[in-house]
Structure formats: structure tokens, C-alpha cells
């Protein structure tokens, strides 16, 4: 995701796949980054994600439990929006993307556009 570092993205993936609020230890136990991480490192990453408003936290006993504030799909859509905004030519980017889309992706786009037109 744009705006997140590599470890922040990995932590968000764990939270998105977690199915509910998770404590630092839960996240650390499920992280698979290929390197050993300290508890305090994961705690700092979660604190940074909270500051950036990617996660919310609630105290449970002596620790916080964290959960995402946005879905993975919403975060991906935000990243795509940022790419389009920064491209200088969003129409050309969209057209190039549409040419590379699979049949399934094209159908999903058509369905979404029909909803947008019908609702707006």
C-alpha cells in the first residue's frame, strides 16, 4: 500500500487476515517477514499505524488490541486513486489498465460503473 513501509504492510496483512482485534504478541507470532523481529519493533509499528489512522486500538488488560480501520480493498482503492492523481494523465492510465484487465476484472468494472450511474 502506498504510504506504508514494508513492515507496516506486512503487519496490516496480518491484521486484515486476523478476523478481529489482535494484541502485539498475536501479530508478532503471525508475521512472516523472513527475519526475527523484536516484540518492541512490532509494538512500535502498530503504534505508528495507529498514529496514521490505519488501525484503532482498545486497551484489554495491560495491552492494546489492534484492528484495521479500513478494509484491504478500501486501502487498495485509495492507493489506486493516488496513482491516478499523480499520473498527470489519469484517463490514459485508466485506458491502459482497461486494455490489460482480465474478462473477470472487466465484468466487475462494468458492474461497478452500472451501480455508479444508477445511483448517481
20 touches 67 (CB < 8 A): yes
Domain boundaries in the chain? Answer: 6-68, 72-119
> What's the CA gap between 14 and 63, in Å, rounded?
18
* Helices and strands: H and E segment counts in the chain: 6, 3
Tell me the three cell numbers of residue 4. 506504508
* Whole-number pLDDT of residue 37: 95
* CATH T-level topology, domain 6-68: Arc Repressor Mutant, subunit A (1.10.10)
The pLDDT averaged over each successive group of 10 residues in the chain (120 residues) is 85 96 97 93 97 96 96 91 92 92 92 81
pTM of structure: 0.81
Residues 6+ apart with CB under 8 A from 37: 7, 28, 31
Distance separating the N- and C-terminal Cα atoms of the chain: 29
* Whole-number pLDDT of residue 3: 73
Amino acid at each position: 500500500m502506498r504510504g506504508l513501509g514494508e513492515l507496516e504492510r506486512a503487519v496490516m496483512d496480518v491484521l486484515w487476515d486476523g478476523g478481529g482485534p489482535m494484541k502485539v504478541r498475536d501479530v508478532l507470532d503471525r508475521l512472516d517477514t523472513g527475519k526475527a523481529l523484536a516484540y518492541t519493533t512490532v509494538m512500535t509499528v502498530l503504534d505508528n499505524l495507529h498514529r496514521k489512522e490505519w488501525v484503532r486500538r482498545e486497551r484489554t488488560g495491560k495491552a492494546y488490541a489492534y484492528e484495521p480501520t479500513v478494509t484491504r480493498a478500501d486501502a487498495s482503492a485509495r492507493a489506486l486513486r493516488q496513482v491516478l492523481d499523480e499520473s498527470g494523465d489519469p484517463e490514459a492510465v485508466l485506458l491502459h489498465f482497461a486494455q490489460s484487465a482480465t474478462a473477470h476484472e472487466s465484468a466487475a468494472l462494468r458492474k461497478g460503473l452500472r451501480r455508479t450511474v444508477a445511483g448517481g
